[in-house]
Structure 1
Amino acid sequence: MYKQLMAARQVSRRMLSTSANRQVVNRVPQKQKMFQEDNGVPVHLKGGAVDAILYRATMGLTIMGTGFVIYELINAALPKKKD
């Protein structure tokens, strides 16, 4: 039991010591420069191709959802007649 406890202690110490050495690069100034540049591109598309794809997917889902809601409202307002 003592060996297992010491092994767990050593593993936890090793994990804590190795994770603190990693540095995170600050990319905020680069992003600020890119988004504040006046090049005529809307801000929601300045991120590149990924932003354009996400924008189009969002607009497509919004239009499809609106159409589905209108369809369901019409079905609720004008139910089918029973013969």
Structure 2
Amino acid sequence: MSGLGVRGLRAFQQISQRTFSTAACRRMANKVPEKQKIFQADNGMPVHLKGGVMDALLYRLTMSLTVAGAAYVIYELVTIALPKKK
């Protein structure tokens, strides 16, 4: 390895150690127990909708894209199966 490569590797090691060491100093609140209470509550809602409005929007978007994609696939299959006559 050349001298530049070894210096670059050492610099990378120092940067990575600093990144991990400073990340440990920052304290973040543990939100897992709060989320567990929300998602484990027996309130009759499906788990994929318990996250709130954003979960409902994402669910509806996913279902819309799925239905639209399935309809497009069926359209293409019919188009391929019944080609236009020349």
Supply the AA of the counterpart residue of 2:83: P
The two structures have a TM-score, normalised by structure 2, of 0.73
Matched pairs, number:
75
Structure 1 pair 43/15, CA: closer, same or farther in 2 (3 Å)?
A: closer
Deviation at 1:15, TM superposition (A): 5.5
The two structures have a TM-score, normalised by structure 1, of 0.75
Partner of 1:22: 26
Match for residue 45 of structure 1 among 27, 44, 49: 49
Q: Does 2:60 correspond to 1:56?
A: yes
Q: Distance in 1 between matches of 2:23 and 2:81?
A: 61
Partner of 2:38: 34
Identity in percent: 62
Deviation at 1:40, TM superposition (A): 1.5
Q: Distance in 2 between matches of 1:77 and 1:14?
A: 62
Structure 1 runs (4+) deviating above 6 angstroms are none
Structure 1 pair 52/16, CA: closer, same or farther in 2 (3 Å)?
A: closer
Unmatched tracts of structure 1, length 5 or more: none
